Amino acid sequence: MRTLVRVLAAAALVVAVAIGVLSVFTPVEARCLCPKIYAPVQCDHGKIYPNPCVADCHNAKNCVPIGPF
């Protein structure tokens, strides 16, 4: 019985760590995971993205940083 409890506790810990790691990133598309860092960029078509990674995932071109960041 104690072994089962330890195995379940270990499994719960692994799941909690995995969820914590994934919460640091924001999924943009299935192929992209970008950090939740706010460093806005504005791209050719005028759209503003929260950071360059998100812009790259949307295939945005000629993006420049905006704001005092």
Phi, psi (deg, nearest 5) at residue 54: -65, -40
Domain limits, the chain: 2-65
In this prediction, residue 2 carries a pLDDT of 82
The predicted model scores a pTM of 0.56
DSSP type of residue 62: S
Measured between alpha carbons, how far is 8 from 51 in angstroms, rounded to an integer? 39
In this prediction, residue 50 carries a pLDDT of 95
Q: Per residue in 5-61, pLDDT tens?
A: 676 667 666 665 555 555 555 555 557 889 999 999 999 999 999 999 999 999 999
